[in-house]
Structure 1
Amino acid sequence: MKLNDAVVLVTGGNRGLGKAFVEEALARGARKVYAAARDPRTVTTPGATPLALDITDPDAVLRAAAEAPDATLVINNAGLSLGVNLLTGDLAEVRREFETNFYGPVLVTRAFAPVLAANGGGHFLNVHSVLSWISFGTSYSANKAALWQATNAFRLALAPQGIGVTGLHVGYIDTDMAAAVTGPKVAAAEVARQGLDGVEAGTFEVLADDVSRNVKQGLAADPSALYPQLI
């Protein structure tokens, strides 16, 4: 699909990568861009339409779908990283991450799929992570892996309705979430550009940096190659 004249909704559209998606969609000529956030007053991008949305609240998701009946592209961007150890960490925090990173996008997709279908089809873009495919022992890897499979399932289920689904994988992005990371980071604007390029091309998956490309390639090898610390 083309972004020109599209109606875009970005979850977590008030900051970081979400804000970059909002800006890039507007730059590509989107007719309207809903910047969804728990507190719509935090949306500061000129030209964006603030929309109240807590993706962990089923009722809030349904209200957002009713308030954005013209949407043709939904970007499941909102995410949470708590650094919780999956084996020893607080199980409540593990569940909190899953509510945001897995169940949130699932709720949004289920609510907006009929909206996109009613508008003649459209597209979902889901923000994953290289940690969908490699683990640091945290629950973040587990919920991002689950979202990857949900993306694949939705792609199969929605194709007959003329709705495409693209998954976006990337390592560290230069946003507040990765502020403490000292390694290489990709600019949020560059990730947003590649993600929307993938939407316009109808690509199944976008690998937005060398880290995600190298890890994806490594999946074809013995798994031990991805965990040298265990050898």
Structure 2
Amino acid sequence: MGIRYNKITDKHQREIVLLKSFPCKYGKCSFCNYIEDNSLDEKEIDIVNMEALKKVTGEFEVLEVINSGSVFELTPKTLEEIKRIVIEKSIKVLYFEIYYGYIKRLKEIERYFPGVEIRFRMGVETFDNDFRVRVYNKNFIMKNEDIEKISKELFSVCLLVCVKGQTKEMIENDIKIALENFQGVTINIFINNGTVIERDDNLVKWFIKKYSYLTSDNKVELLLDNKDLGVFEQ
């Protein structure tokens, strides 16, 4: 049984909901077992999501919506309910996840929630194009000008670190690029999850020694465990 609602009360205070959605448009990332939460049953999706959204109080005026895909895979009824709650609870800031392929459609969401600050997050996982495509199976290339361009559209990016095949230099470079270009960075230390990607424990030890100071950096959310946000589906 999973947990679909939580409050983040330390850095970046907000409420967070993990919602069900239609299958991720891409759905081929080699490290992801998250898409098992997807469904084609619209009725079932909405029942689960209404239950989770009922718990939102609006106390921080900030709500983060995550789902196993992008905001564009949420059902119409779920989006309507989020909109209703945003108005009723006076929510000022909304976080949503998007996939790179949707980068040209962000204005649709901004128009749907007028008067609300929308903060889009995207999993780039790494800025090393070869590693992203070859190992993570995320099929998009970003040149420097692309990074600069999307930094104007996205609030934050997610990095996936400490997997076998990565080097210290790659991780250092990823963190440097993310901090220089984006207002927020989520860094996930990989946990073995039954996919083909494997955790590198030596890199984990090095990373924690070198980068544990990032826990006090206001731009960074450092997740030592993928359950650190308090929402997960088992």
* Length-normalised TM-score, structure 1: 0.39
Higher relative contact order (CA 8 A, sep 6+): 2
Q: Pick the structure with more strand per residue.
A: 2
* Length-normalised TM-score, structure 2: 0.38
